Amino acid sequence: MKKLEGKVALVTGSGRGIGQAIALKLASEGARVVVNDLDEGPANETAKRIGELGSEAAIVAGDVTKPDFGDRIVRAAVDTFGGLDIIVNNAGYPWDAVIQKMTDEQWYAMLDVHATAPFRVLRAAAEYIRVAAKREKEEGRPVMRKVVNVTSIAGLYGNAGQAAYSAGKAAVVGLTKTMAKEWGRYNVTVNAVAFGYIQTRITQPIGSGGEVAQVGEREIKMGIQPEFIQQMNRMIPLGRGGTPEEAAGAVYLLCIPESDYISGEVVLASGGFVM
């Protein structure tokens, strides 16, 4: 039997990159997955690949920073699949600048997507989890549920040029540790994974093409200077950046029964690199 057979997961930002890899990994182990992306096209592609793995997917396209998003995606999980067992708050992107050049818009955009959006998803799930846990306890069949929030080594140690991004990712750590304390009584483990350099479109070398992402009406420049990538590879003990599939593996570890007694922790997936 697959480790996540019968489980229902939602993964924000799962149309591309790490989020897609997470959704596919969970589906490969039997989970039915609610997929999210800003655009329906990438979300449909992930849902198609989940179907090819023999599992099921529902799609909730749209901006995770919208006030009603948390309610929408939680409701989709419960209405479509009859429950919710795994929440992965993954959606996010960097919008960088040194502090004297950083605008209020940049600051709030980073806090909204990395801190406020996960908060709203968890708030929306709270009543369902409370009621379900109470019912399961009365029936003598406690169920373990999992929350994995995605943060970054920038949120743990800071990173020049990323004041807003780092602040948002640091807030995720505080949210994670608090929810581990609040939801332990409901048999929910709440952990975070802090990624280092993972090879995605966000971290591709500048000049390799396609380095502008459309986020609403904003065009956000993506990519890293090739020299910085080379420097990072030299500093990472494993000698390279991670793949999206390796990043997904770290999240998966915190979703399976073997991690049922791990909560309130931040796991680094950085190839051994620590700033």
Would you please indicate which residues are annotated as catalytic (active-site) residues?
A: 165
Question: In angstroms, rounded to a whole number, what is the distance separating the alpha carbons of residues 61 and 101?
Answer: 32
- Cα 1 → chain centroid: 26
Question: In angstroms, rounded to a whole number, what is the distance separating the alpha carbons of residues 208 and 150?
Answer: 26
By three-state DSSP, how is residue 205 classified?
Answer: strand
DSSP code per residue over 10-51: EETT-SSHHHHHHHHHHHHTT-EEEE--SSHHHHHHHHHHHH
Question: In angstroms, rounded to a whole number, what is the distance separating the alpha carbons of residues 256 and 228?
Answer: 35
Per-residue burial over 226-246, b = 16 or more CB atoms within 10 Å of its CB, e = otherwise: eeebeebeeebeeeebbebeb
The token duo for 124 is: 């929306």
Q: Give, as one character, the DSSP assignment of residue 194.
A: E
Question: In angstroms, rounded to a whole number, what is the distance separating the alpha carbons of residues 44 and 57?
Answer: 9
Question: Amino acid identity, residue 14?
Answer: S
Q: Give, as one character, the DSSP assignment of residue 68.
A: T
Nearest alpha carbon to residue 188 among 230, 145, 156: 145
CB 30 within 8 A of CB 5: yes
